[in-house]
Structure 1
């Protein structure tokens, strides 16, 4: 029997790497990894990990892991309309076929999701942290072309 810590680590990996929409999807994904658990156990595990549901750009709900910055209180909160005006983008820099996009805290994950799903032909993929996105640029792509493609996803990029 596999340990609970191992199961929780696998659950974290599955939730962060796939768009799992319901507990049945999560149970099936865990079973593929060798963890056969009940729905009640899964619910307790998800509660312990503070798993939440988020919405994709297409309006589909899926599970996400918490981001520490989501729980920090802001002294002067902005309205939703104000927040939607800002993509959170700060800067982009390149070295060879790698790039680093800096964002405001908490914005990297959603921007990386938009980049990965934006059909950008010059970017192979992303890895997001809290305020940093690592991008891999296709061999031979010019940095200026990458920035131009990123404008389709991040309008305030310079």
Structure 2
């Protein structure tokens, strides 16, 4: 099997099955009769730009690039609805999110894991999160988007 055929098989497998590790992916290829080693699979994963997304089971699995974008944003929205009590724009590209005492860290982690395209990172205290917008993203725009998730479940 040549590289193109192998990578095509990898894309088909990650679309059809919940594969979490390179070893699982290599085994799935071998089960289909492809002679591969994990080193080759590792290189293919990098070349294909595969990403890890959270399956409905909660397990992280491989997916084609862009596959999990909607799911990740939906997860951020769900976390905001669960934990946030307010979202305000601040100066310097910052958005401030408030939570009940003790919940800021859990929400910040969900936001970080969601890899929102406009968010550079978060800093959490006990009940407050500073969210840094990526360069060129106005804090007011990010605040409006996050507030929409919080207020009406947009996503």
TM-score bracket, shorter-length normalisation? 0.3 to 0.5
TM-score (norm 1): 0.46
Tell me: higher relative CO, structure 1 or 2? Use CA pairs within 8 A at least 6 residues apart.
2
Q: Which has the larger radius of gyration?
A: 2
TM-score (norm 2): 0.47
